[in-house]
Amino acid sequence: MRGETSDVVDLAAGDDEAHVGHGNDPDARGRPRTRHRGRVQTLGSHVVYANSWMTVREDAVRLADGTESIYGVVDKPTYALVIPRDGDRLQLVEQFRYPVGRRRWEFPAGTAPERADVDPAALAVRELREETGLVAGRVERIGHLEVAPGMSSQRGHVFLATELTAGPHQREHSEQDMRTAWFTVAEFEDMARAGELADSQSLAAYLLLQLHDRRGTGGAVGTGSR
Protein backbone atom coordinates (compact mmCIF):
# COMPACT_ATOMS: atom_id res chain seq x y z
CA MET A 1 0.00 0.00 0.00
CA ARG A 2 1.45 3.31 -1.14
CA GLY A 3 4.78 1.71 -1.96
CA GLU A 4 5.07 -0.37 1.21
CA THR A 5 5.64 -4.11 1.20
CA SER A 6 2.41 -6.04 1.65
CA ASP A 7 2.40 -7.88 4.97
CA VAL A 8 -0.48 -10.33 5.06
CA VAL A 9 -1.50 -11.08 8.63
CA ASP A 10 -4.46 -13.15 9.76
CA LEU A 11 -6.88 -11.32 12.04
CA ALA A 12 -9.47 -12.52 14.53
CA ALA A 13 -10.97 -9.91 16.83
CA GLY A 14 -11.21 -10.90 20.47
CA ASP A 15 -8.59 -13.67 20.38
CA ASP A 16 -6.14 -12.84 23.19
CA GLU A 17 -3.97 -15.82 22.28
CA ALA A 18 -3.43 -14.29 18.87
CA HIS A 19 -1.48 -11.35 20.26
CA VAL A 20 2.29 -11.47 20.21
CA GLY A 21 3.90 -10.24 23.42
CA HIS A 22 1.67 -7.47 24.78
CA GLY A 23 -0.22 -7.27 21.48
CA ASN A 24 1.99 -4.51 20.04
CA ASP A 25 4.94 -6.31 18.47
CA PRO A 26 6.99 -3.57 16.73
CA ASP A 27 7.84 -3.98 13.08
CA ALA A 28 11.16 -3.09 11.45
CA ARG A 29 10.28 0.60 11.63
CA GLY A 30 9.45 0.46 15.35
CA ARG A 31 5.70 0.70 14.77
CA PRO A 32 3.29 -1.42 16.82
CA ARG A 33 1.83 -4.24 14.80
CA THR A 34 -0.91 -6.46 16.19
CA ARG A 35 -0.95 -10.05 14.94
CA HIS A 36 -4.10 -12.17 14.99
CA ARG A 37 -5.55 -15.31 13.50
CA GLY A 38 -8.78 -15.49 11.55
CA ARG A 39 -10.56 -14.76 8.31
CA VAL A 40 -9.84 -11.02 7.98
CA GLN A 41 -6.44 -10.22 6.52
CA THR A 42 -4.22 -7.15 6.77
CA LEU A 43 -2.84 -6.41 3.31
CA GLY A 44 -0.78 -3.34 4.17
CA SER A 45 -0.39 -0.58 6.71
CA HIS A 46 0.92 2.96 6.87
CA VAL A 47 1.12 5.59 9.60
CA VAL A 48 -0.87 8.74 8.82
CA TYR A 49 -0.01 10.65 12.02
CA ALA A 50 2.35 10.28 14.96
CA ASN A 51 3.44 12.26 18.01
CA SER A 52 5.11 11.47 21.32
CA TRP A 53 1.97 9.83 22.75
CA MET A 54 0.25 8.03 19.88
CA THR A 55 0.23 6.95 16.25
CA VAL A 56 -2.71 6.68 13.87
CA ARG A 57 -2.41 4.11 11.12
CA GLU A 58 -4.59 3.08 8.23
CA ASP A 59 -4.66 -0.62 7.32
CA ALA A 60 -5.84 -2.09 4.06
CA VAL A 61 -7.82 -5.21 4.90
CA ARG A 62 -9.57 -8.06 3.09
CA LEU A 63 -12.84 -9.04 4.71
CA ALA A 64 -14.23 -12.54 5.10
CA ASP A 65 -16.29 -12.27 1.88
CA GLY A 66 -13.22 -11.27 -0.13
CA THR A 67 -13.96 -7.57 -0.41
CA GLU A 68 -11.29 -5.05 0.53
CA SER A 69 -11.63 -2.08 2.85
CA ILE A 70 -9.63 0.12 5.22
CA TYR A 71 -9.39 0.24 8.98
CA GLY A 72 -8.16 3.20 11.02
CA VAL A 73 -6.38 2.26 14.25
CA VAL A 74 -5.08 4.44 17.08
CA ASP A 75 -1.98 2.89 18.65
CA LYS A 76 -1.04 4.06 22.13
CA PRO A 77 1.31 2.44 24.66
CA THR A 78 0.15 0.23 27.48
CA TYR A 79 -0.92 2.25 30.51
CA ALA A 80 -1.23 1.57 34.23
CA LEU A 81 -4.25 2.62 36.29
CA VAL A 82 -3.96 2.65 40.08
CA ILE A 83 -6.75 2.44 42.66
CA PRO A 84 -5.41 3.95 45.92
CA ARG A 85 -7.46 2.51 48.78
CA ASP A 86 -7.35 3.28 52.48
CA GLY A 87 -10.05 1.32 54.27
CA ASP A 88 -13.37 2.49 52.84
CA ARG A 89 -11.80 5.42 51.00
CA LEU A 90 -10.60 5.72 47.42
CA GLN A 91 -8.38 8.53 46.16
CA LEU A 92 -9.19 10.17 42.83
CA VAL A 93 -7.51 12.86 40.77
CA GLU A 94 -9.32 15.64 38.93
CA GLN A 95 -8.04 17.47 35.89
CA PHE A 96 -9.27 19.26 32.78
CA ARG A 97 -9.77 16.86 29.90
CA TYR A 98 -9.40 18.86 26.71
CA PRO A 99 -11.22 16.52 24.25
CA VAL A 100 -14.46 16.68 26.27
CA GLY A 101 -13.91 20.25 27.51
CA ARG A 102 -14.59 19.40 31.16
CA ARG A 103 -12.85 18.62 34.41
CA ARG A 104 -13.13 14.94 35.27
CA TRP A 105 -12.54 12.81 38.34
CA GLU A 106 -10.71 9.54 37.70
CA PHE A 107 -8.22 7.12 39.18
CA PRO A 108 -4.52 7.96 38.71
CA ALA A 109 -3.26 6.52 35.42
CA GLY A 110 -0.69 7.09 32.74
CA THR A 111 1.77 5.80 30.17
CA ALA A 112 5.53 6.03 29.91
CA PRO A 113 7.05 9.04 28.07
CA GLU A 114 7.85 8.71 24.37
CA ARG A 115 5.79 5.51 24.13
CA ALA A 116 8.49 3.59 25.99
CA ASP A 117 7.94 -0.03 27.01
CA VAL A 118 7.89 -0.04 30.83
CA ASP A 119 6.93 -2.81 33.23
CA PRO A 120 3.27 -2.11 34.17
CA ALA A 121 3.86 -2.57 37.90
CA ALA A 122 6.76 -0.13 37.91
CA LEU A 123 4.68 2.28 35.86
CA ALA A 124 1.82 2.02 38.35
CA VAL A 125 4.09 2.87 41.28
CA ARG A 126 5.52 5.84 39.39
CA GLU A 127 2.15 7.21 38.26
CA LEU A 128 0.75 6.95 41.79
CA ARG A 129 3.63 8.92 43.25
CA GLU A 130 3.73 11.48 40.43
CA GLU A 131 0.03 12.32 40.50
CA THR A 132 -0.85 11.93 44.20
CA GLY A 133 2.40 11.83 46.18
CA LEU A 134 1.32 8.51 47.67
CA VAL A 135 3.77 5.64 48.10
CA ALA A 136 2.23 2.17 48.35
CA GLY A 137 3.63 -0.55 50.56
CA ARG A 138 1.48 -3.10 48.74
CA VAL A 139 0.46 -3.24 45.08
CA GLU A 140 -1.72 -5.89 43.42
CA ARG A 141 -2.53 -6.34 39.77
CA ILE A 142 -6.28 -6.98 39.67
CA GLY A 143 -7.01 -7.05 35.94
CA HIS A 144 -6.57 -5.42 32.57
CA LEU A 145 -8.71 -3.31 30.26
CA GLU A 146 -8.96 -2.54 26.56
CA VAL A 147 -9.64 1.14 26.05
CA ALA A 148 -11.71 1.09 22.85
CA PRO A 149 -11.15 -2.16 20.91
CA GLY A 150 -13.22 -0.90 18.00
CA MET A 151 -10.70 1.85 17.25
CA SER A 152 -7.59 1.47 19.40
CA SER A 153 -5.04 -1.22 20.26
CA GLN A 154 -4.31 0.31 23.67
CA ARG A 155 -4.52 -1.86 26.75
CA GLY A 156 -4.22 -1.03 30.41
CA HIS A 157 -3.28 -2.86 33.60
CA VAL A 158 -5.26 -2.13 36.76
CA PHE A 159 -3.57 -2.15 40.16
CA LEU A 160 -4.83 -1.84 43.73
CA ALA A 161 -2.50 0.17 45.98
CA THR A 162 -2.75 -0.08 49.79
CA GLU A 163 -0.58 0.55 52.87
CA LEU A 164 -0.19 4.11 51.66
CA THR A 165 2.18 6.79 52.87
CA ALA A 166 1.61 10.44 51.89
CA GLY A 167 4.34 12.54 50.33
CA PRO A 168 4.88 15.31 47.77
CA HIS A 169 3.56 14.77 44.25
CA GLN A 170 5.85 15.00 41.23
CA ARG A 171 3.43 16.02 38.49
CA GLU A 172 4.38 16.82 34.95
CA HIS A 173 3.88 20.36 33.65
CA SER A 174 0.77 19.28 31.72
CA GLU A 175 -0.76 18.11 35.03
CA GLN A 176 -0.36 21.44 36.83
CA ASP A 177 -4.14 21.84 37.18
CA MET A 178 -4.58 18.43 38.82
CA ARG A 179 -5.98 18.03 42.31
CA THR A 180 -6.67 14.98 44.47
CA ALA A 181 -9.26 14.01 47.07
CA TRP A 182 -10.42 11.01 49.07
CA PHE A 183 -13.95 9.66 48.60
CA THR A 184 -15.79 6.90 50.41
CA VAL A 185 -17.06 4.00 48.34
CA ALA A 186 -20.60 5.32 48.80
CA GLU A 187 -19.56 8.76 47.55
CA PHE A 188 -17.77 7.20 44.57
CA GLU A 189 -20.89 5.28 43.60
CA ASP A 190 -23.11 8.35 44.04
CA MET A 191 -20.80 10.33 41.74
CA ALA A 192 -20.99 7.55 39.15
CA ARG A 193 -24.78 7.48 39.29
CA ALA A 194 -24.96 11.26 38.93
CA GLY A 195 -22.56 11.32 35.99
CA GLU A 196 -20.02 13.34 37.97
CA LEU A 197 -17.59 10.48 37.49
CA ALA A 198 -17.91 9.32 33.89
CA ASP A 199 -14.40 8.13 33.02
CA SER A 200 -14.98 4.70 31.51
CA GLN A 201 -11.59 3.33 32.55
CA SER A 202 -12.17 4.30 36.18
CA LEU A 203 -15.65 2.80 36.20
CA ALA A 204 -14.40 -0.42 34.64
CA ALA A 205 -11.51 -0.53 37.11
CA TYR A 206 -14.00 -0.18 39.97
CA LEU A 207 -15.83 -3.25 38.66
CA LEU A 208 -12.53 -5.17 38.67
CA LEU A 209 -12.04 -4.03 42.26
CA GLN A 210 -15.46 -5.42 43.24
CA LEU A 211 -14.67 -8.75 41.55
CA HIS A 212 -11.28 -8.83 43.28
CA ASP A 213 -12.87 -8.25 46.68
CA ARG A 214 -15.46 -10.96 46.09
CA ARG A 215 -12.75 -13.44 45.16
CA GLY A 216 -10.85 -12.61 48.31
CA THR A 217 -7.49 -13.61 46.88
CA GLY A 218 -4.74 -11.93 44.90
CA GLY A 219 -1.05 -12.03 44.17
CA ALA A 220 0.11 -9.04 46.18
CA VAL A 221 3.69 -7.92 46.01
CA GLY A 222 5.50 -5.42 48.22
CA THR A 223 6.97 -2.42 46.45
CA GLY A 224 9.92 -2.27 48.80
CA SER A 225 9.50 1.46 49.35
CA ARG A 226 7.58 3.03 52.19
Q: Return the pLDDT at 174.
A: 66
pTM for the structure as a whole: 0.75
Q: For residue 67, give the 3-state DSSP assignment.
A: coil
Contact 158, 144 (CB under 8 A): yes
Q: Partners of 40 in the beta sheet?
A: 11
User: According to CATH, where is 3.90.79.10 located in the chain?
Assistant: 79-216
Q: What's the pLDDT at 33?
A: 52
Q: Which helix (H) or strand (E) holds 41?
A: strand 40-50
Q: Considering the domain delimited by 79-216, tell me its CATH architecture.
A: Alpha-Beta Complex (3.90)
| Of 90, 119, 115, the residue nearest 105 (C-alpha) | 90
Q: Which residues of the chain have pLDDT under 70?
A: 1-38, 114-116, 170-176, 217-226
Nearest to 35 by CA among 55, 69, 11, 51: 11
d(CA 59, CA 194): 39
Q: What is the pLDDT of residue 121?
A: 92
What pLDDT, on the 0 to 100 scale, is given for residue 177?
A: 80
